[in-house]
């Protein structure tokens, strides 16, 4: 995906859509794990849409949860649009 080539997701600023904060209470996820998923997670190709929507997935062994994060890539930052998690891998 072209947007992954333009930005270094390990160092770029990550912002959160207000929707993420309303879902945080209901789904009980950790924002630090969300950020880590965006920075180091695998890309889930079947949930991506050109030109700038990307879905990341990462298993966090300590909590035994898999985080899925949908994010939009912009010129200078990444915006997390929504997050959900599943138990186990």
Report the CATH number that the domain containing residue 49 is assigned in CATH: 3.30.2310
Task: Check residue 66 and give its pLDDT.
Answer: 93
Could you give the number of structural domains in the chain? 1
Look up the domain containing 8 and give its range. 2-87
- pLDDT by residue (tens digit) across 67-77? 999 999 888 89
pLDDT, tens only, 23-66? 888 888 888 999 999 999 998 887 777 778 889 999 988 888 99
The C-alpha angle 84, 14, 56, rounded to 5 degrees, equals 40
Q: What is the pTM of this model?
A: 0.86
Q: Is residue 4 pLDDT above 90, yes or no? A: no
Cα→Cα distances 28→7, 21, 51, 67, Å: 29, 10, 30, 11
Burial label, 59 (beta-carbon count in 10 A; 0-12, 13-18, 19+): middle
């Amino acid at each position: 995906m072209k947007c992954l080539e333009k930005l270094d997701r390990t160092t770029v600023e990550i912002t959160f859509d207000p929707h993420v904060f309303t879902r945080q209470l209901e789904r009980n996820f950790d924002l630090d794990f969300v950020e880590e998923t965006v920075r180091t997670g695998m890309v889930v190709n079947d949930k991506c849409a050109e030109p700038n929507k990307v879905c990341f997935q990462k298993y966090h062994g300590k909590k035994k949860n898999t985080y899925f994060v949908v994010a939009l890539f912009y010129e200078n930052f990444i915006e997390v649009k929504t997050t959900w998690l599943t138990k186990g891998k």
